[in-house]
Amino acid sequence: MGETAIHLFLKQVGRLFLLNQGCHTVETEVALNQLGLQRLDELDNKKVVDVLGVGLRYRPFGRTEERGEGYEGFSLPQPDTYDVGLNVLRGVEVKVSRSDFRNGFVCAGCNYNYVLTPTRLVAPGLLPRGVGLVEFNKYKFSCEPSDDAERRPYRLNGLRVVQHATYRKIPQFQVDHAVAAIAERRLAEARSAALENVLGLLDDPELAYRAP
């Protein structure tokens, strides 16, 4: 059975939600590398997330695990006063019916995991520990550009965070795999553009010699 109109629409709403969460990159239908991850619940049975966002999570330099690698001879007098950003994954799974919810979804493949549903479809207590719940109210929903495009680009009405997602640490290679999966989708376009940019300048004798 094909994807319903409401499911497709809510995935696009999920993209807006993640961009408002500070993600710098957002894509739909991304396969996750879940090697070694412990399943949180019997519902945690999927490997492709409906909407995936990648964004920076800032922490004091002195508290990052990476601080001791490759920094020989490098130190800061007050390391906790300097923040560094590390990429984290935010996943949104769309559920439009109770049977759809019971079919399962990604619960632990991202640092932050959310479920997006129509209003009152799922009680927060039914979600696995740490999974957030966002409700969509079709009678109140509206969206428009906000006045603060840098921090929160959209003003979304009728979208309510009922339960916040809890940060979950996952291996860095799983974050890198997801970033690469998104980048590969755009690689063909980038390859074509790079070639066209060079070929378009080959006729300039100051840039490249062409035999007469």
Q: Which has more confidence, 19 or 60?
A: 19
Q: For 63-98, how does the pLDDT look when each residue is reduced to its tens digit (9 = 90+)?
A: 665 555 555 555 666 656 667 789 999 999 999 999
Q: Are 105 and 93 in contact (CB under 8 A)?
A: yes
Q: Give percent helix, percent strand, percent coil of the chain, each to the nearest 5.
A: 30, 30, 40
C-alpha distances in Å from residue 29, one per residue of 32, 47, 89, 111: 10, 10, 14, 17
- pLDDT tens digits for range 98-153: 999 998 888 888 999 999 999 999 999 999 999 999 999 999 999 999 998 888 99
Q: Strand (E) positions, the chain?
A: 23-31, 48-60, 83-94, 112-118, 132-136, 142-148, 152-157, 159-163
Q: Residue 203 CB: number of other CB atoms within 10 A?
A: 9
pTM of the model: 0.84
